[in-house]
């Protein structure tokens, strides 16, 4: 399977320009024989949507999204955008997977940061479900949008739901953080941990450029089921990283050392229920 990680910049608030840019990237990836193209978080709108007066929210069946999906031909594509919820009440930070021009799955970001320069909870409503999904020839996958990946229980749930690939569209920036925080180091530690402990492929697609005082550093990469870096894009520049993976490696790894087989879901359920009964977070 060949995957292209589209490490791109975005024009804040200019959806048409970002759609045009994405179409060129998809065209190049398809010409290179890619089976899947993965874009970063909110690449179709830009990240700081609170600085834009117009409503940038799109429905997953928006004609521009469907047109982009069609440009991929039979390949899959992950597009990320502010999603317009029903009734006009809610907007979600969403990533959608399209295969052969057809919508397969939408993931609404579950954990919205609301600290320092990040105000996502002000503009978005958190999603309410975590599901893996089938893609046919490309296996079973799950989406974690940026800060979702900082919650290990989500990767656990995705793995137990059969995911062979974790797709991570992100907008990770170094600017504006406390001292002694290394964004690149944190992310590489997270993705390698999930690859090794969940025994699957991790596809980390980060954006580049500057926006609202944030510098997005790129460094998109793919991790294999042993926790090794398969390939990595350079930092601070647009780049299309194309990587070939073999999904049989996931099954081989999980058979050789069955870390994810013994999940004890009944045990987990009982202990989570106990914590909820004790007044834990709902």
Indicate which CATH number applies to the domain containing 141: 3.60.110.10
Q: Which residues pair with 133 in a beta bridge?
A: 141
Asked if residue 21 belongs to a domain, the reply is yes
Once rounded to an integer, what is the mean pLDDT over residues 47-71?
96
The yes-or-no verdict on residue 68 having pLDDT over 70 is yes
The yes-or-no verdict on residue 277 having pLDDT over 70 is yes
Once rounded to an integer, what is the mean pLDDT over residues 57-82?
97
Asked if residue 262 belongs to a domain, the reply is yes
* Model pLDDT for residues 84-113, shown as the tens digit of each residue: 998 889 999 999 999 999 999 999 999 999
Comparing CA positions, the residue from 52, 46, 54, 58 lying closest to residue 9 is 46
Comparing CA positions, the residue from 83, 89, 93 lying closest to residue 57 is 83
8 A C-beta contact, residue 166 and residue 200: yes
Q: pTM value?
A: 0.96
Asked if residue 98 belongs to a domain, the reply is yes
Question: Domain range holding 256?
Answer: 2-277
Q: Which tokens belong to 206?
A: 């980060």
Asked if residue 34 belongs to a domain, the reply is yes
Asked if residue 166 belongs to a domain, the reply is yes
Asked if residue 238 belongs to a domain, the reply is yes
* Model pLDDT for residues 225-237, shown as the tens digit of each residue: 999 999 999 999 9
At residue 115 the predicted structure's pLDDT band, cuts being 50, 70 and 90, is: confident
Asked if residue 282 belongs to a domain, the reply is no
8 A C-beta contact, residue 92 and residue 82: yes
Distance from chain centroid for Cα 23: 19
Comparing CA positions, the residue from 258, 245, 135 lying closest to residue 201 is 245
Total number of domains in the chain: 1
* Model pLDDT for residues 142-198, shown as the tens digit of each residue: 999 999 999 999 999 999 999 999 999 999 997 656 666 788 999 999 999 999 999
Q: Which tokens belong to 250?
A: 């996931």
What SS3 class is residue 83?
strand
Once rounded to an integer, what is the mean pLDDT over residues 213-242?
97
The yes-or-no verdict on residue 200 having pLDDT over 70 is yes
Comparing CA positions, the residue from 80, 13, 40 lying closest to residue 207 is 40
What pLDDT is recorded for position 104? 97
What pLDDT is recorded for position 168? 98
Asked if residue 48 belongs to a domain, the reply is yes
């Amino acid at each position: 399977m060949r995957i292209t990680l589209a490490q791109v910049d975005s024009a804040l608030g200019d959806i048409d320009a970002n759609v045009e840019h994405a179409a060129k990237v998809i065209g190049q990836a398809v010409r290179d024989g890619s089976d899947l193209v993965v874009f970063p978080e909110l690449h179709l709108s830009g990240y700081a949507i609170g600085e834009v007066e117009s409503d940038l929210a799109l429905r997953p069946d928006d004609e521009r999204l469907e047109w982009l999906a069609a440009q991929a031909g039979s390949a899959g594509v992950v597009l990320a955008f502010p999603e317009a919820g029903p009734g006009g009440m809610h907007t979600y930070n969403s990533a959608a997977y399209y295969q052969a021009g057809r919508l397969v799955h939408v993931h609404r970001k579950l954990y919205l940061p609301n600290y320092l320069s990040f105000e996502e909870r002000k503009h978005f409503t958190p999603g309410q479900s975590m599901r893996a999904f089938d893609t046919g020839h490309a296996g079973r996958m799950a989406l974690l949008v940026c800060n979702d990946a900082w919650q290990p229980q989500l990767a656990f749930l995705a793995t137990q739901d059969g995911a062979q690939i974790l797709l991570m569209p992100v907008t990770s920036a170094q600017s504006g953080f406390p001292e002694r925080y290394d964004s690149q180091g944190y992310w590489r530690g997270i993705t390698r941990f999930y690859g090794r402990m969940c025994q699957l492929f991790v596809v980390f697609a980060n954006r580049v450029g500057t926006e609202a005082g944030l510098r997005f550093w790129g460094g998109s990469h793919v991790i294999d089921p042993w926790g090794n870096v398969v390939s990595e894009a350079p930092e601070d520049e647009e780049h299309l990283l194309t990587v070939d993976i073999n999904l049989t490696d996931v099954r081989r790894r999980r058979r050789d050392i069955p870390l994810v087989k013994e999940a004890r879901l009944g045990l987990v359920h009982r202990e989570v229920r106990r914590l909820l009964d004790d007044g834990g977070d709902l």
